[in-house]
Structure 1
Amino acid sequence: MKKVTMKDIAIKAGVSKATVSMVLNKKDGSISAETKNKILKIAEELNYIPNGVARSLSTNKSETIGIILPDIINPFFSEIARAIEDTASKLNYNVIFCNTDSDVYKEINYTKLLISKLVDGVIFITGGKSNHPLEILQSNNVPFVLVDRDVEDQDNYCGVYCLNKEGVIQGLEYLISKGRKNIAFVTGNKGLKVSKQRIEGYKDVMSKYDMFKENLIFESDFTIEGGMEITEKIISENKEIDSIFYSNDIMALGGLKVLLRRGFKVPGEISVIGFDNINISNFTEPELTTIAQPIYEMGKQSCETLIDIIDGNAVNNKIYFKPELIIRGTT
Structure 2
Amino acid sequence: MKKITMSDIARIAGVSKATVSMVLNKKDENISEETKNRILNIAKEMNYIPNSVARSLSTKKSSTIGIIVPDITNPYFSEVSRAVEDSANIFGYNVILCNSDNETEKEEKYVELLISKLVDGVIFAVGGHNTRGIELLQENSIPFVLLDRHVEGFENLYGVYCENQLGVVQGVEYLYENGKRNIVFVKGPGDIEIAKQRLSGYKLTMEKYGIYNENFVYESDFTMQGGKNVTEKIINEIEKIDAIFYSNDAMAVGGMKVLLRNGYKVPDDISIMGFDNIQISEFVEPELTTIGQPIYEMGRESCRLLIDIINNVDVEKKEIYFKPQLIKRGTA
**Distance in 1 separating the partners of 2:139 and 2:259:** 49
Partner in structure 1 of residue 182 of structure 2:
182
Residues 33-52 of structure 1 mapped to structure 2, 5 A cutoff: 33-52=33-52
Shift of 1:13: 2.4
Inter-partner Cα distance in structure 2 for 1:241 and 1:92: 52
Equivalent position of 1:86 in the other structure: 86
Note the C-alpha offset of 1:44.
Answer: 1.1
Q: Secondary structure at the match of 1:68?
A: strand
Which secondary structure does the structure 1 equivalent of 2:245 belong to?
A: strand
Deviation at residue 137 of structure 1 after TM alignment: 0.5
Matched, 1:327 2:313: no
Which whole-Å CA distance do the structure 1 matches of 2:165 and 2:151 have between them?
A: 15
State the 1:168 CA deviation.
Answer: 0.5
CA deviations on 1:145-174 (whole Å, 9 max, x unpaired) are 011111112212111001000000000011
Work out the CA distance in 1 between the residues paired with 2:251 and 2:192: 16
Equivalent residue for 2:163?
A: 163
Residue 67 (structure 1) aligns with: 67
TM norm structure 1 = 0.97
Matched, 1:152 2:152: yes
1:191 partner letter = D
The 3 A distance-change label for structure 1 pair 5 and 298 is same
Amino acid at match of 2:44: E
Q: How does 1:304-323 map to 2 (within 5 A)?
A: 304-315=304-315, 316-323=317-324
Q: For residue 330 of structure 1, report the CA deviation from its aligned partner.
A: 0.6
Partner residue, 1:301 = 301
1:36: Cα distance to partner?
3.3
Provide closer, same or farther for how the CA distance between residues 272 and 29 of structure 1 changes in structure 2, counting only shifts above 3 A. closer
Per-residue deviation, 1:188: 1.0
Stretches of 4+ aligned residues off by more than 4 angstroms: 27-33
Normalising by structure 2, report the TM-score: 0.96
Q: How far apart in 1 are the matches of 2:323 and 2:245? A: 19
Structure 2 CA distance for aligned equivalents of residues 70 and 3 of structure 1: 38
Q: Distance in 1 between matches of 2:250 and 2:31?
A: 59
Matches within 5 A, 1:202-217: 202-217=202-217
Residues 220-252 of structure 1, C-alpha deviations (whole Å, 9 max, x = no match): 000000000000000000011111000000000
Map of 1:263 onto structure 2:
263
5+ residue gaps, structure 2, are: none
Give unpaired runs (5+ residues) of structure 1: none
Give the aligned residue type for 1:102: N
Q: Which amino acid aligns with 1:48?
A: Y
Number of residue-to-residue matches in the alignment: 331
CA separation of 1:33 and 1:297: change in aligned 2, threshold 3 A: closer
Q: Secondary structure of the residue that 1:65 maps to in structure 2?
A: strand
Deviation for aligned residue 1:126 = 0.6
Structure 1 position 33, deviation (Å): 4.2
Cross-structure match for 2:283: 283
The alpha-carbon deviation at position 62 of structure 1 amounts to 1.2
Q: In structure 1, what is the equivalent of residue 121 of structure 2?
A: 121
**What amino acid does structure 2 have at the position aligned with 1:192?**
I
Distance in 1 of aligned mates of 2:30 and 2:235: 78
SS at match of 2:95: strand
